[in-house]
Structures are given as C-alpha cells and as structure tokens.
Amino acid sequence: MINEKNIIEQLEKNLMDWNTNPKTQNVGYVEKNTDGVIVASGLSLVTMGERVEFENGLSGVVLNLDEDYVSIILLGDGSQIKQGDKVTRTGEMLSINVSEDLLGRVVDPRGEPLDGKAKIKKGKLMPLEKIAAGVVEREPVDTPLKTGIKAIDAMFPIGRGQRELIIGDRGLGKTAIVVDTIINQGNFRKSGSKLRPVVCIYVAIGQKRSTIAQVVGRLNESDAIDYSIIVAASSSDPAASQYLAPYAGAAIAEYFLEKGQDVLVIYDDLSKHAWAYRQISLVLKRPAGREAYPGDIFYLHSRLLERAVRLNSKNGGGSITALPIIETQANDISAYIPTNVISITDGQIFLQSDLFNSGFRPAINVGTSVSRVGGAAQTGAMKSVSGKMKLELAQYAELAAFSQFGSDLDAATSQALERGKRTYEMLKQPQYSPLTEAYEILSIWAVTNGFLDDIKIDDIGRFEQELHKFVKRSHEKLITTLSNGEKVNESTTKELEKALTAFKKVFK
C-alpha cells in the first residue's frame, strides 16, 4: 500500500537523479481509424514493428511505413480513437513480460491476465519478434518428447526441438492430441525420468472462448496447468491480437530456453493465424496474392516455426519443440496454407475423417503422416519394437487392398491381415489417457509377437487395459526395465514372454 512517506521518499529519490536532458518525443496524429488499423501522419522517426502509444493509453504496433503516413495495428478496442488524436513513439519493440510466475496462467498476447488473477509485474521483457538461433548454436534433435500416444510415439516420434505439424479437418481430435501431450509431460515428471521436465505453452488463436475454457479446464483437472502457460487470442479478439499470439508464445518459450529448459509450444491453429494476417494485410492495402493472402504469408509462418530449436550445450542446451496445428477443408492437404506449413515443418501427423468416423481414434493416417527427424530421438527400446509394427502395418495395407478382389487367401496372407487388424485395434487410444513408454512398448510388443492373434478384435481394448494392470501388479521390474529406454534384449524378451503367458492364462 502506498503512503505519504513512500511518495516523499520516491520524490526525493527522483530529485536526486533528476535528468537535466530535455524530454524528447516523436509524435504523430491520427488521420484515419478503420477496422483496427490506424493511419497516422508524423512519427517520422518510428521504426517497423515499434510500439506506439495513444493519448488514451492504448498501444499499437507499426506495420507499414509510407512516405507521409504510418499504419498502426491496435492492440485493443480502438473505438475511442478519433481523427487528430496524438500518437507517441515509445522506442520499444513489442515485448511481453515473462517470469516463472506466468506458469499456470492464462494471458493475452500482451501478457495481460485473462484468468482474473493479478498481473505479472516482475519479469524479463522478451521481444515478440526475434531472429531465430543460427546454425552454430544448434544441435541435431536427439532427445524424445513423449506424447503418450502409442501411434505417434511408435511411428512418428517427436524429438525435442522438432516442428511437427498436426493437420486435419475440424473435429478430428487435433487439440485432443496436443492436450494429451501436455498431460503426458506431467506423467513424465512424476516418473522420475533423467530427462528434463518440459514447460508447455498452449497458444489459442482465433478459437471460441468456450473451447479455450475447455482446454484450460482439462489441464486444471489433470494438474497439467502447473507447468503450462496459455496464451489466448479468441475469435472475438481483434485480428492484431490473433496475429501476435503465436509470437507471444514463442517469446515466452524463449525465456525458458534461455534458462536451459525444454519447452513445448502448441500453436492452435495457424490457419486462423493466416486468416488474421490476411485481414490485417487487406486493411493495410497490401497487394493480395493467392486466396487473397499477402505475399509474405510463407515468411509469417517460417519465421515463427524457425524459432523452434535444440540448442547445443554451449548455449544452454535448452529446446523449443513446436506443434503447429492446421485445419484443412475436406481433407485437402494440398491447399495453400497447409502445403506452406508442411514444407516448413519436420513432419506432419495427418488426421483423417474416414478413420475418425470408423472409430479409429486418434484418427492418424499412417500413410501420409511422417516424422522427418524424430527417429533419431526415439529410444532404443521403442525403436526395437516399433520397426516390426511399421513393417506389418505396411504389409497389411497392401494386402487389405488386394484381398478385396479375391475370396481365397493363403494362410500367411490371412494371418498378416488378422495381425494388421489387431495392430490397428491396439493403436486405438481413448482421449486424455496418455501412456508411459513402458506400457506403450508392452502393448506393441504383445501385438507384434502374436499374443493378440487369438483374441477377438472387440476384446483387444479390454485385453490391453487388463494387461497393463496385471504387469504393474505382478511384474513391476519389467516396467522399470522397459522405462530405461534401452534396446529390448534377450532377457527382457524372456521376461515379456513370461508376463504375457501368465496374463493370458488369467484373461477371460
């Protein structure tokens, strides 16, 4: 609480270091206010991307520099700004105040709290726009980032520092995958792994407030909020906020990166980000290109995703893993924005509506999904079991297409088809129930080694659940061995066989 004594002390302090240099200001005057974009005259010294302030305290960012005018996007409600209002240059680039206090909070792209709690005061100002780390500071991706989803961790592994796109139509579970991944980082922390815990940042761009509230609620329920930060620019927020949100997320991530921590940033979703930028660009009268997007739409996403990094030990050894999300229309991954982001990222997980509707969830299309660098980050244990599964699934896909034409199948083909069906069934996983690597390996090993061949397809889910419980109860050592991440050797194989045989005797 401020009192007279404090005020006098502060005044005395200010008097002591009274600066006799004159206060200099570079000002401009509002000429036009249209759709959240202000055109102002003056401001001859202002730079691109600089923050400016209006008389009523509202901030804006300079996005266009013309000969006589500057165009400013507003970071708030601009209905009160009128022609002739004074705009002052601040000399600061747009930045966000970041500290550890931000963990567990929901903020807007300027760092203003949206969760009704107090504003974060002390922290470091991190610039929203920053050139990504150079080649010399980087290191190849070699550490896994576990999603807890069997299909992803086995076939499209994600490494710390990777950029993996999650793409698919609306309502296919893109957000569910990333929420599961965040929740799984909590399981990872509890498991006492040697790897560093991951700080999660979820950036919601142009989403419904109810959807954002659902994600926050889910993270709260699973205590994942404690190590997460949510940056939200909902669909009712100005386009400028939606445009800045992912950069704010990246700036927060860079704060933790500087401290040598591992960070996961989720951009949900970049399609809406592109829409927001298109809206701003059209209002700014920039030339429109394909689908009315501006010419620098590729750079918009490439400069953002390039900030995902795995730093070498000289530079702290931290990492930023980016999981951008793109929403497609009618499964069309060859549209403008999807192809752009596919080419920028190190792989994509493609969710398909046919699979979703047939009950295969997560609805990952194994054929079109890929992880270009994550393989190097996969543990020896997972690598040794997932290789066989990938091969069997590829064979199944080929045989399934052929088997549609003929009724007589030889035994080997029938067996491969049955195995494939069971493998697909095993890869199904309910929402919000990520698995640790040991249980993922256990399930995959069981199906690829024929232990599920005589189990009815409808019973596979129950078989898997009960198997996990059984092994946890009576073969705890096996779980510890599998958690080490070392390649499955002969003795572990024997242990697995023993556990599976024992379980099958009791499974009804």
Alpha-carbon distance values, 452 to 21, 247, 403 (Å):
81, 47, 22
Q: Is 6 an interacting residue with respect to another protein (CB under 8 A)?
A: yes
Q: Which is nearer to another protein, 4 or 458 (CB)?
A: 4
CA distance 165 to 341: 8
Which of 3, 57, 68, 412 lies at the binding interface for another protein (CB under 8 A)? 68
Q: Which is nearer to another protein, 24 or 210 (CB)?
A: 24
CA distance 444 to 379: 14
Q: Is 11 an interacting residue with respect to another protein (CB under 8 A)?
A: yes
Q: Which of 295, 301, 267 is nearest to 282 (CA)?
A: 295
We find the least distance from the C-beta atom of residue 62 to another protein, in angstroms, to be: 14
Which of 35, 41, 65, 399 lies at the binding interface for another protein (CB under 8 A)? 41
Q: Is 15 an interacting residue with respect to another protein (CB under 8 A)?
A: yes
Residue 13 has φ and ψ, to the nearest 5°, of -65, -45
Which of 1, 5, 20, 330 lies at the binding interface for another protein (CB under 8 A)? 20
Q: Which of 286, 290, 372, 419 is catalytic?
A: 372
Asked whether 81 and 33 are in contact (CB, 8 A), the reply is yes
Where b means 16+ CB within 10 Å and e means fewer, 491-502 reads ebeebbeebbee
- Find the part of the chain contacting another protein (CB under 8 A) among 35-43, 159-167, 286-294, 371-379: 35-43
Query: Helix, strand, or coil here: 289?
Result: coil
Q: Is 24 an interacting residue with respect to another protein (CB under 8 A)?
A: yes
CA distance 460 to 437: 19
Q: Is 42 an interacting residue with respect to another protein (CB under 8 A)?
A: yes
We find the least distance from the C-beta atom of residue 301 to another protein, in angstroms, to be: 34
Q: Which is nearer to another protein, 15 or 506 (CB)?
A: 15
Helix (H) or strand (E) holding 404: none
Asked whether 177 and 152 are in contact (CB, 8 A), the reply is yes
- Kindly determine how many residues on this chain lie close enough to bind another protein according to the rule CB under 8 A: 23
Measured at the CA of 213, the angle between CA 207 and CA 216, to 5 degrees, comes to 110
- Find the part of the chain contacting another protein (CB under 8 A) among 12-20, 278-286, 340-348, 374-382: 12-20
Which of 1, 3, 5, 23 lies at the binding interface for another protein (CB under 8 A)? 23
Annotated active-site residue 290? The verdict is: no
Asked whether 310 and 301 are in contact (CB, 8 A), the reply is no
Count of CB atoms situated within 10 Å of the CB of 99: 14
State the residues that interact with another protein by CB under 8 A: 2, 6-7, 10-11, 14-15, 18, 20-28, 41-45, 68
Catalytic residues: 372
